[in-house]
């Protein structure tokens, strides 16, 4: 799920552009302390290891109680969390692909679910039905008949007769 989330690429882009090549200074708690071989300075004792693994010696001239910091700059940390400075534009592009795919998907889903489609029912309701073709191949000139079934309360007229609708507008 780590690679599926767009926030992975957002955070990776921010980390790789803002933390690349920044020097690291270890606090007293983070320093590793050890004793070098007799008659060697901390710097000569750790030089081969530092070339291979990185980091720095906080007290290079000391002959006892060496203090070693495993990180000399932030590139080692970024490598541990799989962030590379060279991938910053790739991560930015992938983030925008996620954004655009989500917008297009949301609009498509809205269109499929909420926008009414032209079906035979909707064509009949709106009166857009094409007249059936007669056997001779001619189109019938008649308008299609539409029956409306309404249930309205019929109120008695003052003369005692029932009117066909609630409001009779035929008297003009």
Q: Return the pLDDT at 76.
A: 86
At residue 158, does pLDDT exceed 70? no
Q: Where are the domains of the chain?
A: 1-21+81-118, 23-72
pLDDT tens readout for residues 58-80: 999 999 999 999 999 998 889 88
Indicate if the alpha-carbon torsion angle 151, 156, 157, 162 is positive or negative.
Answer: positive
Residue 133: pLDDT band (50, 70, 90) is low
Please state, in angstroms and rounded to a whole number, the distance separating the CA atoms of residues 30 and 152. Answer: 86
pTM higher than 0.75 for the full model?
Answer: no
Which among 43, 45, 74 is positioned nearest to 57, based on CA atoms?
43
Mean residue pLDDT of the chain comes to 81
| Cα–Cα distances in angstroms (integers) from residue 84 to residues 52, 77, 81, 90, 164, in the given order | 19, 10, 9, 10, 81
Token pair belonging to 144: 């299609």
Higher pLDDT, 162 or 17: 17
């Amino acid at each position: 799920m780590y690679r599926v989330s767009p926030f992975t690429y957002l955070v990776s882009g921010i980390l790789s552009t803002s933390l690349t090549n920044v020097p690291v200074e270890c606090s007293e708690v983070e320093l590793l302390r050890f004793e070098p071989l007799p008659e060697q300075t901390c710097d000569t004792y750790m030089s081969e290891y530092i070339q291979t693994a990185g980091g720095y010696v906080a007290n290079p001239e000391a002959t006892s109680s060496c203090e070693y910091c495993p990180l000399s700059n932030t590139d080692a940390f970024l490598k541990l969390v799989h962030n590379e400075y060279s991938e910053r534009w790739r991560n930015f592009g992938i983030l925008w692909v996620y954004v655009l795919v989500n917008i297009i998907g949301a609009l498509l889903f809205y269109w499929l679910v909420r926008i009414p489609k032209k079906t035979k029912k909707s064509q009949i309701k709106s009166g857009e039905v094409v007249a059936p073709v007669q056997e001779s191949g001619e189109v019938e000139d008649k308008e299609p008949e539409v029956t409306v079934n309404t249930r309205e309360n019929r109120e008695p007229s003052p003369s005692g007769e029932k009117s066909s609708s609630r409001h009779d507008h035929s008297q003009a």
